[in-house]
Amino acid sequence: MPSLTSKMTKTGTGFRVLATFAAAASLTLSLSGCTKLETTSPSSVRNAAGTQQARTGGLGTVDCAHAKCIALTFDAGPSENSSRLLDILKEKHVPATFFLLGKRHIDTYPELVRRMADEGHEVASHTWTHKILTDAKPDEIREELERPNKEIERLTGKRPTLMRPPQGRTDDTVHGICRELGLSEVLWSVTAKDYQTDDSDLITERVLDQSSRDGIILLHDIYDGTVPAVPGIVDALKKRGYVFVTVPQLLAPGKAEPGKVYR
């Protein structure tokens, strides 16, 4: 898996991270050493809950045991593109899950963090500086996870319960610290690799080709081609019968457990 390459570029009123993210494509990832990553699917969480109840979220009630659900998720924001994205999601009545970065993002666009929460989206963590957690010491991992959580809680009144490790790279040490901090790890099943292209049509095509029931779509609103692709993605998937939900709604009536990894 390639290492993260990032540069800070000044844009508008703040900065954004232009990063090369590596995608995890299989259900089992080979990590450092011989460790194998075990992940839990949304359907197995629902089945384990032992009941099929609808869950009420910020943008409506959905029962994913019966509905054809799919989750839109966005990493590494908020950014100068997030306001337009939120406008689109509001217009189309689509909830999303935002895995936010801290440095130069949460601290640069606090009003957008509040807006995400106020408009019914799930606000979660993508660490403070996008440090690769499997390369970090335990104290560094805790700092990367605790700092954005504190800021998000201060801004929204709700402490995140979900996080996404940078590049999807995680291991037993990360699982253990997440368990201590009450965090569940969320990966993805669909990636447009929008860090490779600004071609909105190509981003749309990639998402549509990979989407299936209970899918978790990975996008980044920091890239210029991504937000313009969202209306087409939403409209096409709705025509296929999909209902958009947040990650917690996708798992309901079950709940994500701290220290576990979901895809």
The least confident of 8-12, 126-130, 168-172 is 8-12
**pLDDT over 70 at 185, yes or no:** yes
* Prediction pTM value: 0.84
Structural domain includes residue 26:
yes
Q: Residue 62's pLDDT is what?
A: 84
Instruction: Give the other-Cβ count within 10 Å of 119's Cβ.
Output: 14
CB 179 within 8 A of CB 206: no
Question: What are the beta bridge partners of residue 6?
Answer: 19
> Mean per-residue pLDDT for 11-32?
39
Distance CA 26, CA 34 (A): 16
The pLDDT tens digits for 83-105 are: 999 999 999 999 999 999 999 99
Q: Residue 50's pLDDT is what?
A: 59
Average pLDDT, the chain: 87
Q: What is the 3-state secondary structure (H, E, C) of the chain?
A: CCCCCEEEEEECCEEEEEECCCCCCCCCCECCCCCECCCECHHHHHHHHCCCCCEEECCEEECCCCCCEEEEEEEEECCCCHHHHHHHHHHHCCCCEEEECHHHHHCCCHHHHHHHHHCCCEEEECCCCCCCHHHCCHHHHHHHHHHHHHHHHHHHCCCCCEECCHHHCCCHHHHHHHHHHCCEEECCCEECCCCCCCCHHHHHHHHHHHCCCCEEEEEECCCCCHHHHHHHHHHHHHHCCCEEECHHHHHCCCCCCCCCEEC
The three-point CA angle 70-76-80 to 5° equals 105
Q: Residue 53's pLDDT is what?
A: 45
Q: Residue 203's pLDDT is what?
A: 98
Q: Residue 143's pLDDT is what?
A: 98
Domain of residue 154 covers: 6-262
The least confident of 23-32, 86-95, 191-200 is 23-32
Give the number of domains in the chain.
1
Q: Residue 45 burial by CB count (10 A; 0-12/13-18/19+): exposed, middle or buried?
A: buried
Active site residue 220: yes
The least confident of 57-66, 133-142, 252-261 is 57-66
Structural domain includes residue 1:
no
Dihedral sign for Cα 230, 252, 171, 103, please.
positive
Q: Residue 49's pLDDT is what?
A: 82
Task: Give the relative orientation of helices 110-118 and 138-156 as an angle to the nearest 10 degrees.
Answer: 70
Which of the following is catalytic: 121, 130, 175, 220? Answer: 220
The pLDDT tens digits for 211-251 are: 999 999 999 999 999 999 999 999 999 999 999 999 999 99
**pLDDT over 60 at 58, yes or no:** no
> Mean per-residue pLDDT for 120-128?
98
User: Strands 184-186, 261-262: parallel, antiparallel or unpaired by DSSP?
Assistant: parallel
Q: Residue 29's pLDDT is what?
A: 40
Who's near 95: CB < 8 A, 6+ residues apart? Answer: 57, 58, 59, 60, 72, 89, 120, 121, 122, 244, 245, 246, 249
CB 145 within 8 A of CB 181: yes
**pLDDT over 50 at 54, yes or no:** no
Which band of pLDDT confidence, cut at 50, 70 and 90, is reported for residue 17?
very low
Q: Residue 156's pLDDT is what?
A: 98
Which of the following is catalytic: 75, 194, 214, 221? Answer: 75
CB 17 within 8 A of CB 130: yes
CATH number at residue 21: 3.20.20.370
Active site residue 63: no
**pLDDT over 60 at 26, yes or no:** no
Q: Residue 20's pLDDT is what?
A: 38
